[in-house]
Amino acid sequence: MRAVNLVHTLLALASTVVFAAAAGQPIILKSGPEPQLSQAAWAEIVARRNAGKATRFKLAIHVEHGLVTDVKIVDRCGADLVEQEVTDWVLKKWSFESDFSGDRVQPIAFEARDRANSYRELLLASPPPPFPESLRGYLKEYQAQEAKTGGVLVRVSVKSGQISDIRTVDKRGPTELSIYTTRWVLDHWRFKPDVTGIYLVPVVYVAH
């Protein structure tokens, strides 16, 4: 039986996170890496998107001499897992210029784009990977033990239509599954020449 591949659920998460600076204020963020969410959190975003709900909220960030000392969520959107993971990430990973102390409200938005339009706009080819038969036993065992399907969340960086970097952000199953999936995307996906950006793609494999 064919695997159920969810590649085509998402290039919807193009332009993954939108960070907005307050109007008229200088950018004082020294280090603000994009949150690396778990697969469960991404599933929450996808489920909300499919239900027609946006995943947007705000963080109230308190800073002491450039160090983030406290983060609270304001204007909750109901994505509890996403909100918690982003809050923890910002508290641990973000920093401001050392001469800044005070409070800042930061909007966070995980923007979902229309799936069909995303593909027409971005890709020349995106065939889903065939089920990896050599890993069927591993995946069946994983499904039985974890009561979850195996899968990989792939982060693809594209510059002027060329894939410049591809890596696994999260996975369910053996390491070989990550290698197989990233290699397939690298070898078989083709972006349009004017595409530049970072895209997160979940691929799910169901072993029957």
| The pLDDT value given to residue 87 | 94
| The pLDDT value given to residue 137 | 86
Sheet holding 162-172, edge to edge: 162-172, 150-159, 197-205
The mean per-residue pLDDT over the stretch 161-177 comes to 85
| The pLDDT value given to residue 67 | 93
Residue scoring higher pLDDT (41 or 60): 60
Give 117's pLDDT tier (boundaries 50, 70, 90).
very low
- Model confidence pLDDT, tens digit, residues 179-191: 899 999 999 999 9
Alpha-carbon distance of 78 to 69, in angstroms, equals 24
pLDDT at residue 173 tops 60? yes
Which CATH class name applies to 18-110?
A: alpha beta
In the chain, pLDDT over 90 holds for what percent of residues? 18
| The pLDDT value given to residue 7 | 34
111 CB burial (10 A radius; 0-12, 13-18, 19+): middle
| The pLDDT value given to residue 1 | 30
Alpha-carbon distance of 158 to 164, in angstroms, equals 5
Residue scoring higher pLDDT (152 or 28): 152
Residue scoring higher pLDDT (7 or 26): 26
pLDDT at residue 97 tops 90? no
Q: Which long-range contacts (CB under 8 A, 24 or more apart) does 67-76 make?
A: 67/95, 67/96, 68/94, 68/95, 68/96, 74/105
In the chain, pLDDT over 70 holds for what percent of residues? 79
pLDDT at residue 30 tops 80? no
Q: Decide if 200 contacts 10 (C-beta within 8 A).
A: yes
**Domain residue limits, the chain:** 18-110, 114-205
Number of residues in the chain: 208
132 CB burial (10 A radius; 0-12, 13-18, 19+): buried
| The pLDDT value given to residue 174 | 82
Residue scoring higher pLDDT (81 or 170): 81
- Model confidence pLDDT, tens digit, residues 45-94: 877 877 788 888 999 999 999 899 999 999 899 999 999 999 999 999 98
**To the nearest whole number, what is the mean pLDDT of the chain?**
77
Alpha-carbon distance of 100 to 72, in angstroms, equals 19
Query: What does pTM read for this prediction?
Result: 0.50
User: Domain 114-205 carries which CATH code?
Assistant: 3.30.2420.10
